[in-house]
Amino acid sequence: MKRAWIYLINTFMVCTENSYRLAVRISRKHDAALQAAAVGLDPFFVTMYNAYHELHVALVAAYNAWISQGGTQESQTLNLNQLLRLLSSTKAEKWMTTVKGFYALGTVRFKELFPDLKKGYQNGSQEDRIATVEAFIIAIGSDPNLAALKAEVIIFRDLLKAALAAQKAGISTTNSKSTTLEKARKASAVGQYGDLGGLMQKFQDDPSNVGDYFDLVALRDGGQVIFHHIVKKGTVYGVCKHTCVPADEWLLENDGDVALTFGMVLHKNDMPGLVSVTVAAHSNSTVHASALSADLANDHFLVAYDADLLVDGEFTAEIL
């Protein structure tokens, strides 16, 4: 089969197919660039901006509504497999540690709560592992020492059951789409693709100008400007290789239960250096690349380090 001519492929559609967050980012850059150009009252840009701005506003409104209703961009959405990975590592370990604070390992009460230690959370079918969580909730019962833990486990159990139901219905939690938002994403992609053609015609004598109106970082990297990963306890995770200048910005979101340290390093498995940024659990920080390394000319790998020896970390990093 012959490959389609690249100019006949809507790169905006392809790039944002699995990321509403990225769709909004790319649209925001294009809309802002057109708005700035329209200030000069050039009829070409005024017309293009007015037409595209409506698409951008609709996309942002749909995205915000989706988020407020409980939706999350897929870099933050957990499908069943991801939830089960969290269960087998982070969650099971955290729950066991909490129980040990009240009932020592080997006591009758501890054995009631963890008869097979963590095996039931780590092995067996999806249904079996969810059943282990159900059994844990029942075993806790009305124990006042574990009331807060029980509430936490119930919330996670409900996430597992919802993800399992979605999977059985043939609907991936990660890829679930809001109809309104999906229509807005596609309209935005079509609008930008059309604007690309218009700008290529306007700047046909100097096509390099066209790049000023689009988020080339996201488009060139095929959408790889957002990275979501789990960091094993006590380890360093090599996030990506990216050449930064001091003024470049990163959005670092700690989605887990332990603090994480981020840095730019020479090799992907190196520990963050003295110039690094620590982000507390369930918080985020926007930093310049200069805060991640003292030698950006040579340090091209972003890494995340989980110093905790008991709990895995989780994060999302975005190149702004």
Distance of CA 160 to the CA centre of its chain: 19
Length of the chain: 320
- HEC readout, 195-214: HHHHHHHHCCCCHHHHHHHC
Measured between alpha carbons, how far is 261 from 276 in angstroms, rounded to an integer?
A: 7
Residue 221 vs residue 203, higher pLDDT: 203
Measured between alpha carbons, how far is 205 from 231 in angstroms, rounded to an integer?
A: 49
> How much is the average pLDDT of 248-264?
87
CATH superfamily of 226-319: Peptidase M60, enhancin-like domain 1 (2.60.120.1250)
Q: Which helix (H) or strand (E) holds 168?
A: helix 147-168
Mean pLDDT for the chain overall: 84
Percentage with pLDDT > 90 across the chain: 38
pLDDT in tens, 76-123: 334 677 788 888 878 888 899 999 999 999 899 999 999 988 888 888
**Residue 159 scores a pLDDT above 50:** yes
Q: What's this model's pTM, rounded to 2 decimal places?
A: 0.48
Ranges 52-56, 105-109, 283-287: which has the least confidence: 283-287
Cross-strand partners of 254: 283, 315
Contacts of 5 (CB under 8 A, 6+ apart): none
Q: Is the alpha carbon torsion for 256, 261, 263, 266 positive or negative?
A: negative
**Residue 45 scores a pLDDT above 90:** yes
> How much is the average pLDDT of 266-273?
89
Q: Dig out the tokens for 281 from the structure.
A: 């659990």
